[in-house]
Chains A and B, each alone.
Chain A
């Protein structure tokens, strides 16, 4: 039973990683840049939801929408102001600019909200756990009565993370493959010049990619802060790195790859935490990544690019 419980929490954590990794991988696919500020967008989203929720008049659903909108706008603004002027610049210059944006967001948050961690109230605060398994059998949406031993408990946050992620991934897959805008994104990722010749608005498509990626980061921030209710200016950096790892793990630039990579990474992390060592779980995650990349240098679903002279 405990294995199943670790597995479920791993999938839940992994689906949050997957949402963040999607932002990384889409931006990488289309702009060929590592958006190091992506993790900090999550942090900003968390603070936006936190601020909105702490005002009395704002209901939870509106706070969540505010958070997602703030992230989306922020992502597009960052792209327009910081990355667009560097469209044809050397990749390292863009990378350093992204690092600069990341510093900027962290320090802005530090100035406005202070360095102390805030206690984030879960968006499903007060709701009973989704599933409990006791000696009497499984029960859904039932609060645990005091004194009753549960062998498996799936909290509402865990359930929410998994369901929301599945819905979003399905919607994204549909959007990318079936709509005109989504296929324009694929085309721009494949070949920017040729896409422009085909009449695709390249700048608009890139902005759209950043908007979608940042909106996903906004959703991820709500889910992550609900599951791990601590919010500080550096909240976003470690999940950001792990999601980046997940994106590379699955093959960077590949959308299903990011999903699989994220979920696998979450499972590996939780199982390592449970069965090997909780302090060394990060080291184990990175070790697995290194082994995977050495065996399969382009990640799980990455495309092999043959170099031509």
Chain B
């Protein structure tokens, strides 16, 4: 068993273990309902942050439109479930099909966006992905879809009027969003999370993953050794989009009503914050950072309005403490860098020279 495999097993074990422990605690009622309700969203956000980590950490490109892919998954999966609510039973089969359909839809958009976008690099790529996310949100905000016995009726910016009133079923209602059946449960989220994690780990340790890291570390050198830069970048980007889409399907099926304004750029930024604080390229870091940062505002709930303020201050201080050259020197001088190194992957930045061994 290589070191990488061992690391990956540890990461999967930690994640699965935490969910089993907290799942049992919530079932037996030890964990209050306030915290039990966090388990499913935390699972979904972990899927999102590990998928974004592929783009930002492994591919090295800043994406600010991850919520857009999530939105596509959420909508396509939700529409699929609503359309087949009568025809496909049991619900778990429908949900699995919805996950696949949502993931594929997001992947298709990933390819469509990726082909033009991946020609760009750096901040330009970031702004285009941001624009893409905003376009998806604006479209979702204005789409009306109704189903009746004649098929689907859809329109922009106004409620559908040509549908047969008696047999019609409203699927999408513009800014009100989508009311997908609530088929998501914790077991499903954990299973999907583990599958996504294994897929990502295998991708990262494959030839394609190493090619992506080579491109990230030195674009020109990677090109000069014959790596098909565009192909591998597109592959990683699409995979990242597909997994975000799957998370979106889970998300829309876990809420009674999902409004498109949820998918604004703040959501993309939130996921990016999880990824960066967890450590670029480290899946384990993403898992831990997501759990801590998602639960943090909940733990501070007694502080009421001050909790987001504290969150912001913690975020700034954490970034300065971990990245400022002055603080790094100070930490080394007083010798607390050893324990910090031990929890590497939680807060430290992954060193570019570490190769593929440390992405567990």
Contacts and interface: CB of A to CB of B under 8 A. Distances in A.
B257 interface: no
Contacts of A110: 305, 308
B313 A111 contact: no
B322 interface: yes
A93 B138 CA distance: 29
Contacts, number: 141
A108 B156 contact: no
Given A85-B327, A290-B132, A280 B315 contact: no
A287 B305 CA distance: 37
Contacts of A252: 123-124
Contacts of A111: 305-306, 309
A168 to B, nearest CB: 24
Contacts of B325: 85, 87-89
A307 B219 contact: yes
A245 to B, nearest CB: 6
B319 interface: yes
A93 B127 contact: no
A85 B277 contact: no
Contact of B139 (A104, A283, A294, A298): A283
B312 interface: yes
Contact of A289 (B127, B142, B221, B324): B127
B324 A89 contact: yes
Contacts of A99: 269, 272-273, 315
B322 to A, nearest CB: 7
Max chain B Cβ within 10 angstroms of own Cβ: one of A104, A237, A245, A298 = A104
A297 B127 contact: no
Contacts of A93: 276, 319, 322-323, 349
Contact of B157 (A241, A280, A286, A307): A280
A175 interface: no
B157 A103 contact: no
Max chain B Cβ within 10 angstroms of own Cβ: one of A82, A95, A277 = A95
Contacts of A137: none
A113 B324 CA distance: 33
A244 interface: yes
B119 interface: yes
A104 B138 CA distance: 27
Interface in B294-314: 305-306, 308-309, 311-313
* Chain B contact surface mostly: helix
A297 B305 contact: no
Max chain B Cβ within 10 angstroms of own Cβ: one of A100, A237, A245, A309 = A100
B173 interface: no
A90 B305 contact: no
A252 B220 CA distance: 23
Nearest to B317: A100
Interface in A86-128: 86-90, 92-97, 99-101, 103-104, 107-108, 110-111
Given A97-B316, A103-B315, A283-B135, A293 B124 contact: yes
Given A279-B142, A293-B120, A104 B320 contact: no
B319 A86 contact: yes
A107 B312 CA distance: 8
Interface in B115-151: 116-117, 119-120, 123-124, 126-128, 130-132, 134-135, 138-139, 141-142
A128 B219 CA distance: 59
B119 A297 contact: yes
B183 to A, nearest CB: 30
Interface in B232-270: 265-266, 269
B349 A90 contact: yes
Contacts of A277: 142, 156-157
Contacts of A100: 312-313, 315-316, 319
A104 B220 contact: no
Contacts of B135: 282-283, 286-287, 290
Interface in A189-228: none
Interface in A60-94: 82, 85-90, 92-94
Contacts of A299: 124
Max chain A Cβ within 10 angstroms of own Cβ: one of B142, B309, B320 = B320
B301 to A, nearest CB: 15
B105 to A, nearest CB: 18
Given A111-B306, A279-B157, A82 B127 contact: no
Interface in B179-217: none
A26 interface: no
B312 A289 contact: no
A244 B138 contact: no
B62 interface: yes
B323 A282 contact: no
Contacts of A96: 272-273, 276-277, 315, 319
Given A282-B134, A294-B119, A309-B220, A241 B265 contact: yes
B248 to A, nearest CB: 19
A118 to B, nearest CB: 18
Given A282-B138, A290-B131, A297-B120, A107 B320 contact: no
B326 interface: yes
B42 interface: no
Interface of A: 28, 34, 82, 85-90, 92-97, 99-101, 103-104, 107-108, 110-111, 237, 241, 244-245, 248, 252, 277, 279-280, 282-283, 286-287, 289-290, 293-294, 297-299, 307, 309
18 contacts: A86-B323, A92-B56, A93-B319, A94-B323, A95-B276, A96-B277, A100-B319, A107-B312, A110-B305, A245-B127, A280-B142, A283-B139, A286-B134, A286-B135, A289-B131, A290-B116, A297-B124, A309-B221
